[in-house]
Amino acid sequence: MILDIKNVVKLYKNGRGVEDISFTLNNGEVLGLLGPNGSGKTTTMKAIAGLVRIDSGEIEVCGVDAVANHEDAMQHTGCLIEAPALYEHMSILRNMQLAARFYPDISDTDINEALQTVGMNRYTNDKIHSLSLGMRQRVGLALALISKPALLILDEPANGLDIEGMVLVRHVVQRAAAEGSAVLISSHLANEIQQCASKVAVIHSGRMLGMRDMGEIMQSFASVEDYFMNEVAQNDGILGGIQQRVRQNP
């Protein structure tokens, strides 16, 4: 098992966040977190990556306690969460070289391979400040791939990308899974999740409403979008209570 999350809670002062999030992710699986903006997808991913401190629960990455031993767990993890953190005045290559220092045994070949995978190997000497939003997103994706991670976390990776870029993301996800990585990807677009995930978790108002294998979803529903709407409708009472609590704690 690559990722094991049990009963994770992270609530902010305004009442938003996530509650009782639990799921597992194995080698070769692609789990799509599907939910609207503000549903808790990014908070869940930040909790796994150690970018926020959880209130309670357990997170293990490759058998390592990611809360108590964050650095050890992150050795197995590649992340693209929100906008990539890049040094504007440095070249793409220099940014990649600096990121490589956080992992053991990353070679120039590994860097070039990651850049080639995302179609940025021709621009290695370009400064970050000269890049478009889509090109920056591709560099961020290359940074996530640089260590050939066992766990790949991609938060809305298609943001800022054109049609070719969106197809590239799907290719990267499918290739990583085929090579044995576990992939956790989020989106508010059901169609994007449908085209690359092997199972889907619906998240809404900080709660996980349901999770099913893609095959089961497509047997029972016309699309992932229909599955999402069904889960929301089935949990209408729970969601109403959560939303009322958030309004009472602005």
Question: Residue 67's domain is classified under what CATH number?
Answer: 3.40.50.300
- Confidence class of residue 172 from pLDDT cuts 50, 70 and 90? very high
Residue 50 resides in a domain: yes
Quick one: average pLDDT of 166-183? 95
3-state class of 44 per DSSP?
helix
With a pLDDT cut of 90, the percent of the chain lying above it is 82
3-state class of 13 per DSSP?
coil
pLDDT of residue 237: 60
Residue 58: exposure state from Cβ atoms within 10 A (0-12, 13-18, ≥19)? middle
pLDDT of residue 83: 83
pLDDT of residue 238: 56
Residue 113 resides in a domain: no
pLDDT at residue 249 is higher than 70: no
Residue 124 resides in a domain: no
With a pLDDT cut of 70, the percent of the chain lying above it is 94
Take residue 99 and report the two structure tokens written for it: 């990121």
Q: How many domains does the chain have?
A: 1
Residue 118 resides in a domain: no
The runs of H, that is alpha helices, within 118-211 are 133-145, 163-178, 190-196
CB of 151 within 8 A of CB of 2? yes
pLDDT of residue 247: 52
Residue 178 resides in a domain: no
CB of 85 within 8 A of CB of 139? no
> Which tops the pLDDT comparison, 104 or 67?
67
Numbers of helices and strands, H then E, in the chain: 10, 10
Residue 88 resides in a domain: no
Quick one: average pLDDT of 65-74? 93
- Confidence class of residue 240 from pLDDT cuts 50, 70 and 90? low
- Confidence class of residue 239 from pLDDT cuts 50, 70 and 90? low
Residue 221 resides in a domain: yes
Q: How far is CA 211 from CA 3, 23, 199, in A?
A: 15, 9, 7
Strand 3-11 with 30-34, pairing? unpaired
| Domain of 234, in residue numbers | 1-76+197-250
pLDDT at residue 35 is higher than 60: yes
pLDDT at residue 72 is higher than 60: yes
pLDDT at residue 20 is higher than 60: yes
Residue 103 resides in a domain: no
Rounded to two decimals, the pTM is: 0.92
CA dihedral 224, 226, 229, 230 (to 10 degrees): -110
Quick one: average pLDDT of 87-95? 96
Q: How far is CA 64 from CA 42, 60, 150, 174, in A?
A: 21, 5, 12, 25
